[in-house]
Amino acid sequence: MNIFKLFIIITKKFKSRFLSRQYLIALIYSLKKLIFFKNEKLDKLIFKRTVTKFFLGRIGENRYNFKIYKELEKKFTEANYFNFNNIKHPKLEEKFIKGFVYDFLDIYYLPVYHNKCVIDEGPYFYEKVQIKKNDVVIDAGANTGIFSAIAANLGANVFAFEPLSVFIDYLKHTSRLNSGIHIIPLALSNTKGEIEININNNDLRASSIIPNKKQANVELIKTTTLDYWVRENNISKIDFIKADIEGAERLMLEGSTWILKNFQPKLAISAYHLEDDFKVLPEIILKANPNYKIVKNWKKIFAWVDE
């Protein structure tokens, strides 16, 4: 890597954190809470994590993730699982804890209790992009199932797509704890077949089928398109699609154009894995259905069609 490219990377990281309105709001909110209010231990750890992450980045986040997990165990444990206001999720081995805390805070705890403190990817609900009772929901990149559990708790019928074998046992446990979750051990893409997925051993959530993600190990997984899968399984509607699939979001959308045109589901799509995601993903959505309204917020694209 030459000096110019290194400078560009450092500049982008500096702007994304120190000049980010979202980060600054979270920093000020956390400092106010720490200085002027008495907080429960869990919230105090979360606020300290936010402040430390602002100045130290991922190092600051990791310092508090395990402490937060231990506090979650004390506060929300029921038998061998967590119960967060009837959203149930199994306890985890150590190698999964960092990712679980990141996701749990981002998509559930902070949006519900401290919405000014969201500093990472952000929740999957925004404006008209909401889940209603009896909705049919696609969870693409289900991981251990925290979003699937949230959706099921809202009364949805959830199809949890997760191709990685390392997550399936936890996902099965989550589905037993929360009715309405159906596990689909496939990756959503723009073709039906098989492909190698690159395993990120440092953060299993970041494993990807995108070739430029350089990880050491690979696993052969099966892929399908959402258009094909819906027809194959006689699914009569899709109301909501959530996708966080490490750069393959555009492939999933390319394989869902019939769904976007005919079912017009609400969309909550991660848009930060590839540099041009914020440009390319809306183009695919609007080409399939020009009626979509699109909003870019946090590190996601939200889209819906007005009734």
Retrieve residue 116's tokens: 């000014």
Retrieve residue 226's tokens: 């959402």
In this prediction, residue 275 has a pLDDT band, given cuts at 50, 70 and 90, of confident
User: Is 136-304 a CATH 3.40.50.300 domain?
Assistant: no
**Nearest 10 degrees: Cα torsion 72, 73, 79, 83:** 0
Between CA 278 and CA 296 the distance in angstroms is 8
Q: Does the structure show a pLDDT above 90 at 305? A: yes
Is beta strand 87-90 parallel, antiparallel or unpaired with respect to 81-84?
Answer: antiparallel
Tell me which H or E stretch contains 224.
strand 217-224
- 234-265 per-position pLDDT tens digit: 999 999 999 998 888 999 999 999 999 999 99
- 39-95 per-position pLDDT tens digit: 999 999 999 999 998 888 777 788 899 999 999 999 999 988 999 999 999 999 988
Q: How many CB atoms lie within 10 A of CB 204?
A: 18
Between CA 217 and CA 24 the distance in angstroms is 38
Q: Does the structure show a pLDDT above 80 at 119? A: no
Between CA 29 and CA 281 the distance in angstroms is 32
- What are the domain boundaries of the chain? 3-117, 136-304
In this prediction, residue 101 has a pLDDT band, given cuts at 50, 70 and 90, of very high
Between CA 61 and CA 63 the distance in angstroms is 5
Mean pLDDT, rounded, for 207-225:
70
Task: Evaluate whether 89 touches 81 at the Cβ level (below 8 Å).
Answer: yes
- 156-183 per-position pLDDT tens digit: 999 999 998 888 999 999 999 999 999 9
